[in-house]
Amino acid sequence: MTNRFLGVRRAVLAAGSVALLGLVAGCGSSSSSDGTSSAPRTESGTATSSGTGAPTGASSVPTDAVSNSLTPSAPPASASVTRCHTSELSASVGRNNPGAGQENFPVVLTNESHRTCTLYGYPGTAFVDASGKQLGPDPERSAAKPETVKLAPGGSAWAGLSFANPEISGAGTATPAVLVVTPPDEKDPLRVTWKGGAVPVSGDESSVRLIPFSAGTGA
């Protein structure tokens, strides 16, 4: 009887020790989770490109200019380098480099912040008139594989924007007031005064095409 009682007592004590260890481990995990702070939110509308601005009386930004910038397949950034936010960038459009019946413009984003950040994928773009109305169809993306571009402070990256010359293709045209540019995976846009003349907006060969970002200005 005594031996049997001692055996039961030892089993109870062993079970209690396991439960106590589990409780201690659970408390450690909870403390670690509570100590993690969330990342700060990026403020919107705090930056525009140098020498550019929204047209007078412009309405809300075209939805396509935002949705086309989202790149869900972007690779995860390292702990020390994250993607560039709109508030850290300025936008510009470089000189046309025409060829083979095509008009080719580099859309340039420059890092105006004091940290290194990255761009991956395509910008969201939309031509708009003075009232903010989008002109022409949604841009089409090329099949080129995007690469992560790391921008040091002051560094630039460019994405190619091209379309068929309307005088050759016979497409209907309009002259935009602004090119709306949204950085990859961002929702807040930048606006660049468009100085590239008429663009195709209807009929055959009216599509605007984009290639993903590369380092430099495309000059």
Q: pTM for the full model? A: 0.67
Give residue 82's pLDDT band: very low, low, confident or very high (50, 70, 90). Answer: very high
Cα separations in angstroms, 166 against 98, 105, 146, 178: 12, 15, 28, 19
5-33 per-position pLDDT tens digit: 344 344 444 444 444 334 333 334 333 33
At 76 the pLDDT is 52
- Say if residue 32 is exposed, middle or buried (CB neighbours under 10 Å; 0-12, 13-18, 19+): exposed
Note the pLDDT tens digit of each residue in 146-201.
999 999 999 999 999 999 998 899 899 999 999 999 999 999 999 999 999 999 99
d(Cα 83, Cα 148) in Å, to the nearest integer? 9
pLDDT of 64: 55
Question: Residue 206: pLDDT band by 50, 70, 90 thresholds?
Answer: confident
pLDDT of residue 134: 95
Q: What's the confidence (pLDDT) of residue 137?
A: 86
H helices, E strands: number in the chain: 3, 15
Report the mean per-residue pLDDT for the chain. Answer: 76
Confidence bin at 36 (pLDDT 50/70/90): very low
